[in-house]
Amino acid sequence: CADFTKDAPQEIDCRTGEAIVTAPVEPIYTKRVGPRSLFITGVSLASIGAASLAAGWSLALVRRSAGDDWIADPNSLSLQAKWLDLQTGVIVGGSVGGGLLVAAMPMVLPVHSKTPWWAWLNGGLGVAAAVGSIVSAATASPKPAESCELNGQDPSACVNWKRDTDRAILLGATAAPLLTMPLVYLLRRGDRKPKVEVQPRVVVGRRGGSVGVTGSF
């Protein structure tokens, strides 16, 4: 019910005739993330990503040595298991590291009106790494006919095949953040720092590969 006898209509209780007082709506305040917070987040992501990518390369070297040990003693189950277990660390370390570095670039790169020379330099290194990744995958040793988890076989085929594919994965993960540097500046508008999402993508395979980039700004 409503009371129209006053200047402004007022809602009333139909049974008692008393005015219904509604509680005021409390405003909802939203906190926007400032440039400093974004920079700190970006530095954190970049630090974790760099450490993860470095760990991936380090584990690849350890796995290379483990592969040589397995070739020297092909009947050793412990050496075979060590070589197999290191594969997960290489793939996860490289993939996570490259992804975190790509996500951090728009937040940590300083603002410039034009693309700086060092961004172009890193972009060139990224192209070289991407080409190396594609070549490593395309020219990799053939996949063994038997599973590498079988014991008693000649491990040379498995070790050589995985060395090439591990190198292709790590080179692709390294290329992604390097390619992101010049792309961030190319996607920025003037000297402002907009919300930019850049996702370089390196696809490698036995018969070739491709390098692609997607972005929004």
**Least confident interval from 3-7, 138-142, 160-164, 199-203:** 199-203
For 149-196, the pLDDT digits (tens) are 888 788 999 999 999 999 999 999 999 999 999 998 888 765 554 444
Q: Which residue in the block uniquely carries the two structure tokens 């995985």?
A: 162
% of residues, the chain, pLDDT over 90: 53
Confidence class for position 122, pLDDT limits 50, 70, 90: very high
| Whether the Cβ atoms of residue 67 and residue 163 lie closer than 8 Å to each other | yes
Q: Is the dihedral of CA 73, 78, 84, 90 positive or negative?
A: negative
Choose the weakest-confidence range: 31-40, 105-114, 199-208: 199-208
| Greater model confidence, 201 or 68 | 68
End-to-end CA distance of the chain: 52
| pLDDT tens digits for range 149-161 | 888 788 999 999 9
**2, pLDDT greater than 70:** no
Structure token pair of residue 207: 């018969």
Confidence (pLDDT) at 21:
66
What does the pLDDT read at residue 181?
93
Question: Which pLDDT score, from 0 to 100, does residue 33 have?
Answer: 39
When pLDDT is averaged across residues 101-126 and rounded to a whole number, the result is 90
Average pLDDT, the chain: 81
Predicted confidence at residue 45, as pLDDT, reads 92
Q: DSSP letter string over 82-110?
A: HHHHHHHHHHHHHHHHHHHHHHHHHHHSP
Strands 197-205 and 10-11: unpaired
Q: Is the pLDDT of residue 18 over 50?
A: yes
Segments making up each domain of the chain, as ranges: 35-210
Q: Give the up-direction half-sphere exposure of residue 127: CA atoms within 13 A in the CB hemisphere.
A: 7
